[in-house]
Amino acid sequence: RMLVVNYARLANRMAPPAAMATLVLYASIQDSYAKEATSSPPVDMGKVRQAILQVVEEDAEKRGDGTSLAGTFLRLAWHCCGTYKAADGSGGSNGARMRFHPESDYGNNAGLDSARAALEPVKQKFPALSYADLYTYAGVVAVEESGGPKIEFRTGRVDMEDGSTSDPKDRLPNADYGGRTKNVAGMRAVFNRMGFDDQEIVALLGAHAMGRCHTDASGYWGPWTNAETTFSNEYFRLLLEERWSPKLTHNGKPWTGPDQFEDSTGQLMMLPVDITLVAEPAFRKWVEIYAKDEDKFFKDFAAAFAKLLSLGVPSAAVAKPWYQIW
């Protein structure tokens, strides 16, 4: 059985005195929502999975270009959780606060309104399922149905009524902190705040195997791999084997977007933080391991992603995996 950690209680032991009052208040809010979640009727998550897949498949058919919503759903789940702060237990996926200001207006969440809208028919079909569970589970389905590992997932998240408990400042990881040294420090600051170490940072960034960047959302352009609808270790292999240079042009015109890197064909891209993974020795050693051993990557990603999904979720609300609740 999976060990269920009460993150609020753990943070309570670790938090400095100045953070105690905030932590206690936030934990009490979380606990009240947890009690509400335990009284909710069970939802057949197998049917939810099929409904999510139907959304992805119907959208892919309309696109007709080989891309899909799978990578976007993975990003949605990631960003729902990436606000967590271990010091006071705030943030995380519980509450689905991305639906409200200020999280809906975070620069790093640009474009995710379309992903939330795409999942609305699923929510309407399964009204007992919280948005918070739906958004995170969509990321799990995206990984598993794209060839990735099985992700431990537990239901029980509930929806908050507004974004009053969200940090006004965007807590999510950035694509660029301003050069190698600042990128290393910035990445560690954000991920360490959530409780992740260097190995977990690299494993989680392996999610870039799927999806692409869009100029009308992040300002960046292009996919990380040639198989953006497949979850694999290709991202790490490409980081090591391709020669990455600053992007200077796009479709025959000067590139005017933010700094990014491209391969020799100009069809694949890497963000500054991606390149930092091979420039910083402490990160690079994990890139090399994952490039050679996909099974190792899958195992480590599954553990880190499951941990990410659980951040900020009261343990009382996630007592059993979804497949054991009926």
Does 79 participate in catalysis according to the annotation? yes
Task: Name every residue whose Cβ is closer than 8 Å to that of residue 251 and which is 6 or more positions away in sequence.
Answer: none
- Catalytic annotation, pick one of 78, 79, 208, 221: 79
Please give the single-letter amino acid code of residue 284. Answer: R
Backbone φ, ψ for residue 169 (5° rounding): -90, 140
Q: Which of 221, 224, 286, 322 is catalytic?
A: 224
Catalytic positions are 79, 224
